[in-house]
Structure 1
């Protein structure tokens, strides 16, 4: 397999224009090939016409389903998904509608694993659409590969059917499906599945792990074209490099302080589970050198635990605490009076806001440092990373859904 990464941007709005191929050398020596239209004026006009009306609800919706091939050859893909989860989430943190950060929900499916029932087309819904990002991280780190048959059409069909996609007219709804076998396998026609997806307002982005032309021949690009998504071509065995920064030490310390502001509630077992899983996902991210990026995500409003943490729940509904049974409150709050509990939550809210503000400031400094270090690894004006490739896809599609992006 070639150690190269190729990115193709075949949005449906680009069909019919002449194209040129521009090679770009990545920060780790990875080559990304980007298809661009020569007629930029026509492209801009078409793109603008695709944009949806401004958001008019209480909070904009972003639903993303990640469909991962977990057959034998996909260990590298799963490793990339684990190590880059928080980078991916960070892209959505840059998006706003009328000043509001979106409510991000993520779902995960695995397919092509022979350990799954053949009667169900070797497909498993690992996590339903959820805003519990720690649960998503937990699910990714639990995935294991095992050979099998990869039925892309079937898993897309199941994702559309099973998930409770947002009904908001202007929501961003997308599938990212990754694998290396022909897109045509299985009894479910990928064309029919992709048509159903875009008919439901869900774009399908395809990520072929392997040769660029082989992916086209295997109909991965065709699937993306039908569902108005993008065709991405990657080397799943390319190692993801996280650059260390001088801000990391302080960021990690602040992350530990941030964890102390969480007041988990629910049954005793749930409280313990929420707390332990938050710490576990910190360790998982740290194992890939990405704890600083996870901490930055936790400092944003995308990392929310409404219905699990008293502080986040209180900030959304000030009357919520009074509605919770005493036995489901954190033990240190159970013996307090209602007014004392409220003061405790407010104090934690204030403390969390202070920590988040410091983390956000340090993260900006860290991003500037990392960008400078990446520039040293690449030839001038030719630097690119996998994060850049993913960023381009998400940014274009978010803007088409009416989001404004922070520059």
Structure 2
């Protein structure tokens, strides 16, 4: 086993994720983001329906990370980029397997490049990673940050499941106290609103600022959450296993075995996402496959679960014919992928069938490797208790039994 500390980036990396809503009438009505602020990530149509309107067959967990993305937070942000799949994979390993949605809010302060950027709750973890990897730590420098707006937007602007049966968690991570900007984003107000909405706020202070500690402890107390204090970098380490390199190779092959049909812009966007997934570092690639196998295979017979696709979720109305070969019959000629243009109907069917079979074989290999990796980790890896990812799991496990989950 190799433990490799994540390198601490320069003061350029930023993770901006969260906007506040007005504590008054302004507060919780959806608003268009101001110029220069991030809008909720586009989601596949099926994910836009609030989970509370769907049949609740499995436990549900909504998790939002509210992150300080000013310059001093570079180490934790880079670590989060590496660990986001690992964190989601571990959350998804509850019994019974929960449906997990993840959202992000990044915040800085007035006068910085942005005050907040937010990305709505979604089961599409590949999409969340796409936004997360673009965040760089920068700005700040005057100690107080606009934490209130980050928390407020997380509470009021994201599509939380309204069911009381859904576990709703915020992880607020930062190293500076809330600034009073004389606007509608008062930190204490939004902590109270979170409690009223049955959203637990777990706070993670990085560094040793005492004012931050007071505010973080207050938010945790008001919402029945946890307060933790970590080193500035978040204390995350990469854990290498004998299976990671092969899983990374399989992940890259799977990500590239896609055949997107749809409008040209959607095809290009999905191909770019697939290429990004293909280039993941070994640990992240392994954890991504584990997360997808766990969540997409939940409730299926073993044979069916083994065939669950690890392809990125198609967005923008596109469809991956390698994962859904049956969709070929309904694709318009002008929305065919370039690889199928110029072929007759039989030629198209043959190419799609071949690619689907190749993908299925890779999926089965990925499932086997992921299981072997899990067994190795269980035997050889001791969890590092004072790290950001470990603290996320403490927060989840502390509330799990109340929602019918065990870990």
TM superposition score normalised by structure 2: 0.69
Cα deviation code 1:181-224 (max 9, x no counterpart): 124644433232022123223221211112386643x2201101
- CA RMSD for the aligned pairs? 3.6
In 2: Cα distance, 1:91 partner to 1:78 partner:
19
In 1: Cα distance, 2:94 partner to 2:346 partner:
37
Cα deviation code 1:324-361 (max 9, x no counterpart): 54433433456678898778667655654543343233
Q: Secondary structure at the match of 1:87?
A: helix
Q: 1:235 aligns with which of 231, 235, 243?
A: 231
Q: C-alpha displacement at 1:76, in angstroms?
A: 1.3
Whether the 8 Å contact between 2:103 and 2:120 is mirrored in structure 1 is yes
In 1: Cα distance, 2:335 partner to 2:163 partner:
32
1:56/1:295 Cα in 2 relative to 1: closer, same or farther (>3 Å)? Answer: closer
Moved more, 71-80 or 357-366: 357-366
The within-5 A match list for 1:331-370 is: 331-333=338-340, 351-370=358-377
In 2: Cα distance, 1:170 partner to 1:349 partner:
38
1:181/1:212 Cα in 2 relative to 1: closer, same or farther (>3 Å)? Answer: closer
Q: 2:220 aligns with which of 221, 224, 227?
A: 224
Q: 1:155 aligns with which of 144, 150, 173?
A: 150
In 2: Cα distance, 1:285 partner to 1:157 partner:
34
1:395/1:321 Cα in 2 relative to 1: closer, same or farther (>3 Å)? Answer: farther
Q: 1:177 aligns with which of 172, 177, 180?
A: 172
- State how many pairs are aligned: 336
Q: C-alpha displacement at 1:139, in angstroms?
A: 1.6
Q: 2:398 aligns with which of 374, 380, 396?
A: 396
1:139/1:113 Cα in 2 relative to 1: closer, same or farther (>3 Å)? Answer: farther
The within-5 A match list for 1:5-404 is: 57=56, 60-95=59-94, 97=96, 101-102=98-99, 104-113=100-109, 116=112, 123-144=115-136, 145-147=138-140, 149-183=144-178, 185-187=180-182, 188-211=185-208, 215-216=212-213, 218-237=214-233, 240-286=236-282, 290-301=284-295, 305=313, 307=315, 308-310=318-320, 314=324, 324-333=331-340, 351-375=358-382, 384=385, 386=387, 387-404=389-406
Q: C-alpha displacement at 1:290, in angstroms?
A: 3.3
Cα deviation code 1:226-263 (max 9, x no counterpart): 12222122113255332322222321222133224433
Whether the 8 Å contact between 2:85 and 2:125 is mirrored in structure 1 is no
In 1: Cα distance, 2:393 partner to 2:145 partner:
27
In 2: Cα distance, 1:345 partner to 1:136 partner:
29
TM superposition score normalised by structure 1: 0.69
Cα deviation code 1:42-68 (max 9, x no counterpart): xxxxxxxxxxxxx95256543222111
Cα deviation code 1:150-176 (max 9, x no counterpart): 122222111222212223442232221
In 1: Cα distance, 2:322 partner to 2:118 partner:
25
In 1: Cα distance, 2:360 partner to 2:294 partner:
10
Q: C-alpha displacement at 1:179, in angstroms?
A: 0.7
Q: C-alpha displacement at 1:90, in angstroms?
A: 0.7
Whether the 8 Å contact between 1:252 and 1:295 is mirrored in structure 2 is no
In 2: Cα distance, 1:96 partner to 1:312 partner:
31
Whether the 8 Å contact between 2:230 and 2:386 is mirrored in structure 1 is no
Whether the 8 Å contact between 1:299 and 1:357 is mirrored in structure 2 is no
In 1: Cα distance, 2:131 partner to 2:196 partner:
29
In 1: Cα distance, 2:285 partner to 2:324 partner:
27
Moved more, 75-84 or 362-371: 362-371
Cα deviation code 1:47-99 (max 9, x no counterpart): xxxxxxxx9525654322211111221111211211211111112321354xx
